[in-house]
Structure 1
C-alpha cells in the first residue's frame, strides 16, 4: 500500500530559482528588473483586469509615471534617455508584459519605434524638440508604418508625400497604430519621388495637431484591450521641409525600428508566460480534486515541467540575444535581424502555448478575469502576428540558412 506521505508537498522552488535567473544577468540588470517588477506589482497589477475589461488605459497618467521610472527610451543615450543596457531594457519589457502585453506595447512603441526613429535618423532639432519630453512621458509618440492593405509587405504602402514648394503634403492611411489617438507626435513613413523618379520611402515627424491629421480609435478588440489602438488618417497634411527624417532613405529605416521593437517582444512575451505559469502553480497547489491537490497529479506535473522547460529555453535565448546586442558597444558582433527573428518566433509561439496549457489547469476559472491567464492568452494572439508574423520570421530564418529569398 502506498504511503500517504508521498502526497504531502516538500520544499518548492520558484520558476526563477529552477532556471537560475539570478545568475544569468549582471547585478545592475537584475536591479532594474526588480524595480520594474515592484512598480508593476504595486501600481499596475491591481487595476489591469479592470482596464482590460473596460478597454481603456489611463495613458497620460501612466506615461508620466513610466517616464519617472526611466523605462521610456531607456536603451537610448542622451537627450534625457537613461542609456541603459539592451539586456536591462529586455528585462524591463519582460516585467511589464508579466502584467499585460498592452503595457509593454506602449513602452515599446514609445521607445523602440517612435523615439528610436527620431534618435537614429532625426535631425538635431527633432531630437532636442521631442526626445527629452518623450523620455519623461510628457509627450507620447506613435509609429505609422502598417496600412490597411499592407502589413507584412510595407514596400506596398500607398501613403504618399509630395513636394509642394518647400513643403511636403502627406496623404494616406495607417492602421493598427498603438498610441495613435493619444499621441503628440507620429513618425510616419511614406513614398516620395525623391529618388530620381523611383518612389523612395522616407520618414516624417508629424505633430498630431497638424491640420489634416486625425486618429480615430479602433474599438471592439478582444486582444490588447488595455492598449490604445487607432487608425491614422492623413488628408493633405502639410509639413515643412525639415519634417523629413534626414538620415535614412528606403525600407532600412522602418525595418531597423521594427527590429528594436521585436527585440523587446523576445523578452516581453516571456513575461506573460511566466505570469501564467506562476498563476497555474499557485492555483494547482490550492485546488483539490478527488481529495488531493491538483498539483500532485502526474499529468499536472508533466504539463508544468514541459512548460517550464520551454520558458527556460526561451529565457536563455533572450538573455543571449541581449548580450549580443550589448556587445556592439564594445566592438562585439551585435545582434542581427535573423537572430531577433529566432527569438521572436520561438518565444511568442511557446508563450502562447504556455498560456493555453495553463488555462486548462485552471479549468473554468481560467476563462475569468479573476485570473490573468485568458487575458494573457488573448493578448498573445496579437503579439503572435504583430511586428512580423511567425511565417515572416520563419522565412527570414530560412533565407539566412539557405541563401534563398522565399518571400515571393
Structure 2
C-alpha cells in the first residue's frame, strides 16, 4: 500500500518504480513509512521552534541505512539508486532530518570511506553505522564558501600530533557530533589535509561550537560555527588519502549526487500537497482542480518532477558504471535545485494564503529548498563545474594547491 501512494498521485508518471529491484523497493518503502509515521506528524513543531529532535536518532539507527553504499564495517552496502531514493524520501518527509542524516552518512562517513585507511575505517565506521557516534563535516569557513579551496584554517605538525587553528561555519551536527572531519591547510606544504576530531566525554581542548540561529530554512537541523584554538590531533587521525583539495573534491562530487535527489523529494512533497488541496478546495462553487489554470500549473509541475527523476535515475546508472563526472553531478544538482524550488513555489501559489502555514507542509519545503539551492555548491558554482567540462577552461580562480 505504501508503494502505491506516489503512483496514486501521479508522481511516478513514467513508471520508474518498475525498474527497481526488490531490495531497492523495500528500502524505499521502509524509509517512506518511517517518514509518514515518525517525521511528518511532528517535525513542523521542531522546525518552528528551531529545535533538533534528538529522540529521532535511535529510530534512524533502527532503519540500518547509515553508510548507504559503503561495503563492510557494519554498513548496508546499498546500491547507488537505493541511496538516492533514501535521500528523496527523507526530503519528502523532512528536509532538516535529511540534512542531518546526509551530513552523518554521506559527508562524514563518506569522507572516511573515500579518504581513510583500512585501519581508520575499522576504527570509526562501525560505530557510525550504528549511529552510536554521530559525524560532522567541517570544510566551509566564515570567509570561504564557494571558494573553499582558499580555506584559511591551518594545520601545523608537531611531532606525532597536528595543531589546528581556524574557524568553520555552517557545520551541520557540529555542536553535538562525536566525530568531526576538519579540513585545514598544512603550514609545511600549503596543501589541504583532512583530520578526524574525536569528541570524548570531556570534549576537545581548544574546540568550541556555537549554534547558528535566525535561519529561514532547515531550522530543525543545527549548524554551528566552530572555533579551533591550538587543537591537538594525533597524527593517526590525519586521513591518509586527504592531501590536496582534489581529494576533498572527490567527496563533494559524490555527495552532490545525493543532494540532487533531495530536490526531487521536496518537489514531490509539495506537488502531492497541492494536488490533494486542489481536489478538496472549492472556489466559486467548484473544485479548484477543475480550473484550467490550476491544471496547467499541476501539469507543468509534474513534468518538471518527471524530468528530475529521469536525470537522477540515469545518474545512478552512470555512477554504478563508474562513469559519473563532476560535471554530471553538478548538472543534476543544479537542475533539481532550480526546478525543485520552482515546483515548491508553484505549489505554495495553488494554496493561496494557506500555502504559508506550516500545517499544509509546503511552506517548510519551499523554505528548505532555498537552502538546497545554496549548499553543496551554489547554482553558479555548479554551472562553472559543468562549464569547465564543456569548454576545458577553468573559470574559477586558480587553485592555491
Per the TM superposition, whether the score is higher than 0.5 is yes
Pairing of 1:238-277 with structure 2 (within 5 A): 238-277=232-271
Q: 2:14 & 2:209 partners in 1: Cα distance?
A: 44
Match of 2:140 among 131, 146, 150: 146
Distance 1:193 1:250 in 2: 13
Q: Spell out structure 1 runs of 4+ moving beyond 6 A.
A: none
Residue of structure 2 aligned with 1:378, choices 363, 367, 370: 367
Partner of residue 191, structure 2: 200
Partner of 1:46: 41
The answer as to 2:37 corresponding to 1:16 is no
> How far 1:123 moved relative to its partner?
2.8
Q: Is the aligned partner of 1:218 residue 2:212?
A: yes
1:363 and 2:349 equivalent?
A: no
Q: Which residue of the partner structure matches residue 36 of structure 1?
A: 31
Alignment partners' CA distance in 2, 1:22 and 1:115? 28
SS of the residue corresponding to residue 56 of structure 2 reads helix
2-structure distance, mates of 1:123, 1:266: 28
1:302 corresponds to: 296
Structure 2, unmatched stretches of 5+, are 1-6
Q: Post-superposition shift, 1:295?
A: 0.2
Q: Is the counterpart of residue 230 in structure 1 residue 221 in structure 2? A: no
1:194 deviates by: 4.0
Could you tell me how far 1:118 is from its partner in structure 2? 1.0
CA distance in 1, matches of 2:386, 2:241: 28
Where 1:181 maps in the other structure, the secondary structure is coil
Determine the structure 1 residue equivalent to 2:392. Answer: 403
SS in structure 2 at match of 1:18: coil
After superposing the two structures, state which structure 1 stretch, 297-306 or 117-126, moved more: 117-126
Aligned to 1:8: none
Contact 1:173 1:232 (8 Å CA) reproduced: yes
Q: Compared with structure 1, are the counterparts of its residues 407 and 143 closer, same or farther at alpha carbon in structure 2 (3 Å cutoff)?
A: same
Name the counterpart of 1:87: 81
Matches within 5 A, 1:108-123: 108-123=102-117
Residue number in structure 1 paired with 2:90 = 96
Distance in 1 of aligned mates of 2:19 and 2:10: 14
Contact 2:141 2:151 (8 Å CA) reproduced: yes
Secondary structure in 1 matching 2:166: strand
Partner of 1:173: 167
Total equivalences in the alignment: 388
Indicate whether 1:394 and 2:383 are aligned.
Answer: yes
What is aligned with 2:70?
76
**Shift, 1:185, TM fit:** 1.0
- Give the 3-state SS of the residue equivalent to 1:370 in structure 2: helix
State how far apart, in whole Å, the 1-side matches of 2:99 and 2:142 are. Answer: 20
Alpha-carbon separation, structure 1, partners of 2:163 and 2:388: 37
1:164 and 1:98 map into 2 onto residues whose CA distance is 47
Instruction: Verify: 1:164 aligned to 2:164, yes or no.
Output: no
Instruction: Tell me, yes or no, if the aligned pair for 1:204 and 1:245 is still in contact at 8 Å.
Output: yes
Matches of 1:17 and 1:143 in 2, distance apart? Answer: 34
**Aligned-partner Cα distance in 2 for 1:368–1:225:** 15
The corresponding residue for 1:324 is 318
Q: Deviations over 1:233-284 (max 9, x none)?
A: 1111011211111123101222111122211111111111000000000000
Give the match's secondary structure for 1:388. coil
CA RMSD across the alignment: 1.3
Contact 1:25 1:319 in 2 (8 A): no
In 2, are the aligned partners of 1:171 and 1:234 still within 8 Å (CA)? yes
Matched, 1:349 2:338: yes
Query: What's the counterpart of residue 339 of structure 1?
Result: 328
**SS in structure 1 opposite 2:29?**
helix
Q: 309-318 or 256-265, which moves further after superposition?
A: 256-265
2:242/2:248 contact within 8 Å kept? no
Cα distance in 2, alignment partners of residues 262 and 204 from structure 1: 22
TM-score (norm 1): 0.93
3-state DSSP of counterpart to 2:344:
helix
1:22 Cα deviation after fit: 1.6
Distance in 2 (alpha carbons) for counterparts of 1:248 and 1:235: 22
Aligned residue in 2 for 1:291: 285
Secondary structure (helix, strand or coil) at the match of 2:210 reads coil
Q: Tell me the secondary structure at the aligned position of residue 15 of structure 1.
A: coil
Question: SS of the residue aligned with 1:75?
Answer: coil
Q: Secondary structure at the match of 1:81?
A: coil
Q: 1:270-301 deviations in whole A, cap 9, x for unaligned?
A: 11100000000000000001100000000000
Whole-angstrom distance in 2 between the partners of 1:265 and 1:312: 17
Q: Secondary structure at the match of 2:89?
A: helix
Q: Tell me if the contact between 1:272 and 1:376 (Cα under 8 Å) persists in the aligned partners.
A: yes
Q: Residues of 2 paired with 1:126 and 1:48: CA distance?
A: 35
